[in-house]
Chains A and B, each alone.
Chain A
């Protein structure tokens, strides 16, 4: 091979940016890709099912969804007394005739929304507190970390229960915001650790020598380097917050009727298990599918951002097997 050819090869391998490497590694992680695709389609599926209903009764703004019933429609019950599934009502009906598919879709809608609000609030507050604490260190760090410890001492489900019980009736968004305000502790600790190690690195010194302000160093230099930690723990926060919300709603402290949540549905119909098990199965399966796919996406992202992660697992395994076989043959 000529020298020019070699150099060209070098250039093409060097050309991969950090983002490209991460994207490629992520796309190699099949469960994660499957999880991501599922989440996107599922969110679209859920949010278009009932359409958009805004405003009060006087000034209603409605876009009809693709599913024919709304979760509030009182429909005639079919021939089956326990409201068993039929082509018209794929998930069956509950006692007063409401279509369970519409209810589950509405519950999934609310649970997803709560999850996103908790996740983004938690991620935002956690990142800010962790970044400030890790970057400035010293007394700021000590105070902020003691504050974090202090929030950690109170179990989140207890906070959630107090908040949910008192603010649950004021609507789902209020509940989600309050839960999000307490959900940042784990993330703050991780981001702090990342900032503590990154601020000692040469590129930060270089930026400071060049005259960059603290804000610029934080936002332009350190934050992009700790984005991996933030994204991965945000996905984990998302999957744990859907479990928190459904758990609280199950206990009766989260989303309150007439709002619907997947946890609330399970609580309401667990007693009907013997004669209408589908009322119990569907919301649970949907919670698991959401949490599972987010966990897989998180795992894929972790692998993608982790520079130590080997990407050629299959090749290594094959090589190891071949070596074993040849060793066996030699004996």
Chain B
């Protein structure tokens, strides 16, 4: 295994060397960075050209200059990488990178995680309900999403999701027609998930339609969208119902241990609601949130662990996931408490369409600052999620279907194992292995994928740096984004191959 990884890394480095060499020369020969100055009428232009030529070593031919550049990059080994100085902005490239990389990471992390979780969940459901109306609708949706140009969606999202929602907030009342339409759709999706024959389908549809209708009606009547909150009662209700749902999915409601473990997690979570809100005031920080998250995971793990001594897996899953949901809603509730203030601070237009954060935000409150980051993230995250969601949906559906047709699944069913366990324990584990490749490709394409999104939403990230560098013939800047994205691509492929062999024991590596 070690020799295999070492050999792969060696090959990866060679590929990196080749691809950076090629792109360096491609970019260097494709344009003249001094063109703007040459065309200018500045009387001192000769001396400026001479100076720039010296600074950027433009007198060295590109193939040789590449090695000078490479020497700077290799400084990364001693912890002092030198990406050179940008021709257009005259500041070291590494400073631009230091600003751009966090923005891009923030942009793609949420979108990638959301796309993976939602896409795989829908894919599994779609495959279990193969050839149902839900399956056909999801397949159609996936094809539409595959065909969407992201720049077009982004403009539409800006127009309707941001501007439309902000306009709505000025007078947060949903009229009857919209309420009917908005309740109609989630009801349809939920009923499709539950499945069953026509009667059951219609009953669950009607029930969820009524629930959403009443919910929207009260939200609208009480001006909830302007000053939202869930409250301890809301968190408790949501917690208990998600816990029941999770128990039904992962263990079955007849598994009393799982049921009680989940409900205990919820009870503990609701118990810390007031203490959490007392600690989490405006001067909270990220360490606190991380600590809170770890605490939630550890406590809920032990709740599941101590509830039973046999077959702990599903019980722990239920208790941990219940706790995570309760924690998420508690934090969401905390954010909602700051919403009113944020609404005033943004002059009543809270959903943002441009840039990564509001520079002129007049607040140091932890929750408001993060609310600001979130409202800036909503649109680009939605756009990116929509685009990559379809891939995960189709891929996981196909993968699960293939596994469900295998002999060992038939054997498991023949042994009398409940369908839930056949799917969760036998099918899904094998079906999820091929997805590592897809995830790796997604990570490899991050910089390329971010170019358009960052351009439309005015973010200053890796993608916009690359676009800017191409436009300005800025070789050092361009090569920095190129080499980082090539490095990511190579490493992601390598990681996918290694994980694949760890997850799938059928694959043997010859060192």
Pair B143/A273 contact, Cβ less than 8 Å: no
A180 contacts the other chain (CB 8 A): no
A239 part of interface (Cβ distance < 8 Å) = yes
- Within 8 Å CB of A267, what residues of B? 151
Q: Is there contact, CB below 8 Å, between A250 and B149?
A: yes
Nearest to B471 among chain A residues (CB) is A165
Cα distance A252–B15 in the bound complex, in angstroms: 30
Residue of A nearest to B30 (CB): A166
Q: Which residues of chain B (1-28) have a CB below 8 Å from chain A?
A: 11, 14-16, 18-19, 22-23, 26-27
Distance from A161 Cβ to chain B, minimum over Cβ atoms (Å): 5
Q: Check if B149 sits within 8 Å of A246, measured CB to CB.
A: yes
Cβ of B150 within 8 Å of any chain A Cβ, yes or no, is yes
Instruction: Check A313 against B482 for contact (C-beta < 8 Å).
Output: no
Report the nearest A residue to B27, measured CB to CB. A162
Given A247-B452, A292-B143, A266 contacting B486 (CB threshold 8 A): no
- Interface segment, one of A119-127, A145-153, A201-209: A145-153
Q: Does B351 contact A (CB under 8 A)?
A: no
Cross-chain contact B467 with A161 (CB below 8 angstroms):
yes
A146–B452 CB distance below 8 A = no
A324 → B minimal CB distance (Å): 7
Whose C-beta in chain B lies nearest to the C-beta of A252? Answer: B471
Q: Any chain A CB within 8 A of the CB of B164?
A: no
Total interface residues on B, CB under 8 Å, equals 45
**Quick check: is A288 within 8 A (CB to CB) of the other chain?**
yes
8 Å CB contacts to A: which residues of B425-482?
A: 444-445, 447-449, 451-452, 455, 466-467, 470-471, 478, 481-482
B162 at interface by CB-CB < 8 Å:
no
A153 touching B16 by the CB < 8 A rule?
yes
A173 at the interface (CB under 8 A from B): no
**Cβ of A7 under 8 Å from chain B:** no
Residue in B31, B150, B470, B489 whose beta carbon sits within 8 Å of that of A253 in the complex: B470
CB of A299 within 8 A of CB of B455, answer no
B390, closest chain A residue (CB): A295
Chain B residue contacts of A290, Cβ below 8 A: 147
Query: Measured between alpha carbons, how far is A267 from B148 in the docked complex, in Å?
Result: 15
Within 8 A of A (CB), among B138-179: 143-144, 146-152, 155, 159
CB < 8 Å neighbour of B445 from A155, A251, A288: A155
CB within 8 Å for A155 and B489 given contacts A250-B151, A266-B152: yes
Instruction: Please state if B149 and A243 are interface contacts (CB–CB under 8 Å).
Output: yes
A146/B11 in contact, CB under 8 A: yes
- Tell which of B31, B151, B489 has the most Cβ of chain A within 10 Å: B151
Is B493 at the interface (CB under 8 A from chain A)? Answer: yes
| B149 partner residues in chain A, CB cutoff 8 A | 243, 246-247, 250, 263, 266, 284, 287-288, 291
The answer to whether residues A158 and B482 also contact, given A166-B31, A247-B452, A251-B467 and a CB cut-off of 8 A, is yes
Of A146, A155, A296, the residue contacting B143 (CB under 8 A) is A296
Q: Please name all residues of chain B whose beta carbon is closer than 8 Å to the beta carbon of A252 when the two chains form the complex.
A: 471
In the complex, B381 has a CB within 8 A of chain A: no
Note all chain B residues with C-beta closer than 8 A to A144.
Answer: none
Main secondary structure of the interface of A (DSSP, over half): helix
A270 CB within 8 Å of chain B: yes
Whether A158 lies near B485 (C-beta < 8 A) is: yes
Q: Cβ of B306: which chain A residues have Cβ within 8 Å of it?
A: none
Q: Is B131's beta carbon under 8 Å from chain A?
A: yes
Q: Is there contact, CB below 8 Å, between B448 and A153?
A: no
Q: How far is the CB of B379 from chain A (nearest CB, A)?
A: 14
Q: A247 contacts B151, CB within 8 Å?
A: yes
C-alpha gap A152/B449 in the complex (Å):
14
Are the C-beta atoms of A158 and B31 separated by less than 8 Å? no
Interface residues as binary, A238-254 with B (CB distance below 8 Å gives 1, 0 otherwise): 01000100110011110
Once the chains are docked, how many angstroms separate the CA of A313 from the CA of B486?
Answer: 44
Residue of B at shortest CB range from A149? B15
Residues of B within 8 A of A288 (CB): 144, 147-149, 152
Which residues of chain A are near B159, meaning CB under 8 Å?
A: 273
Chain A residue contacts of B489, Cβ below 8 A: 152-155
Q: Which residues of B contact A195 (CB under 8 A)?
A: none
Q: Is B244 an interface residue (CB 8 A)?
A: no
Q: How far is the CB of B358 from chain A (nearest CB, A)?
A: 22
B251 CB within 8 Å of chain A: no
Give the residue of A154, A156, A161, A162 whose beta carbon is less than 8 angstroms from that of B486.
A154
Chain B, residue nearest A316 (CB): B131
Within 8 A of B (CB), among A278-331: 280, 284, 287-288, 290-292, 295-296, 299, 313, 316-317, 324
Which residue of the partner chain, among A146, A153, A251, contacts B451 with CB atoms under 8 Å? A251
Q: Collect the chain B residues with CB atoms within 8 Å of residue A266's CB.
A: 149, 151-152, 155
- Is B236 at the interface (CB under 8 A from chain A)? no
| Chain A neighbourhood of B15, CB < 8 A | 146, 149-150, 153
B167 → chain A closest CB, angstroms: 12
B448, A158: Cβ atoms under 8 Å? yes
Asked if residues B151 and A292 are in contact (CB atoms below 8 Å), the reply is no
Cβ-defined contact, B155 with A270, below 8 A = yes
Contacts of A324 in B (CB 8 A): 197
The smallest beta-carbon distance between A284 and chain B, in angstroms, is 4
A212 CB-CB contact with B under 8 Å: no
A234 CB to nearest B CB, Å: 16
Q: Which residue of A is nearest B31, CB measured?
A: A166
**Bound Cα distance A136, B470 (Å):** 39
- Assuming the A-B contacts A162-B470, A270-B155, A291-B146, are A250 and B490 also in contact, with contact meaning beta carbons closer than 8 angstroms in the complex? no
Q: Which of B27, B197, B485 contacts A155 (CB 8 A)?
A: B485
Determine whether the beta carbon of B131 is less than 8 Å from that of A150.
no
A150-B31 in contact (CB<8A)? no
* CB of A218 within 8 Å of the partner chain: no
Contact in complex: A263, B155 (CB < 8 Å) = no
Chain A residues, Cβ within 8 Å of B147: 239, 243, 287-288, 290-292, 295
Which residues of the partner chain B approach A299 to less than 8 Å between Cβ atoms? 143
**With the chains together, A119 CA to B357 CA distance in Å?**
40
Q: Is A157 an interface residue (CB 8 A)?
A: yes
Contact partner of A239 (CB less than 8 A), chosen from B14, B146, B445, is B146
Query: Are A161's CB and B493's CB within 8 A?
Result: no
User: How far apart sit A295 and B197, CA to CA, in the bound complex (Å)?
Assistant: 32
CB contacts (< 8 Å) of B152 on chain A: these are: 266, 280, 284, 287-288
Asked whether A162 lies within 8 Å of B150 as measured between CB atoms, the reply is no
The answer to whether A313 touches B466 (Cβ under 8 A) is no
Q: Is there an interface contact between B447 and A158, defined as CB atoms closer than 8 Å? A: yes
Residues of B within 8 A of A151 (CB): 19
CB-CB under 8 A from A316, the residues of chain B are 131
Interchain CA distance A299-B144 in the complex, whole Å: 13
| CA gap between A115 and B400 in the complex, in Å | 33
Report B-chain residues with C-beta under 8 Å of the C-beta of A243. 147, 149
Most A-side CB within 10 Å, residue of B22, B147, B155, B466: B147
CB B360 to nearest CB in A, in angstroms, measures 24
Nearest Cβ on chain B to A296's Cβ, whole angstroms: 6
How far is B481's CA from A246's CA once the two chains are assembled, in angstroms? 22
Q: How far is the CA of A284 from the CA of B153 in the complex (A)?
A: 9
In angstroms, Cα B148 to Cα A243, docked, is 8
With A154-B482, A251-B455, A273-B155 already in contact, the answer to whether A292 and B144 are too (CB < 8 A) is: yes
Give 5 CB contacts A-B under 8 Å.
Answer: A149-B490, A162-B26, A280-B152, A284-B149, A291-B147
Known: A156-B448, A250-B149. 15 other contacts (CB 8 A): A150-B18, A153-B485, A158-B466, A158-B481, A162-B23, A165-B31, A243-B147, A246-B149, A266-B151, A287-B147, A288-B148, A290-B147, A295-B146, A299-B143, A317-B131
Q: Which 8 pairs between the two chains have the least Cβ-Cβ distance?
A: A155-B448, A291-B147, A284-B152, A292-B147, A153-B486, A166-B30, A157-B448, A153-B489
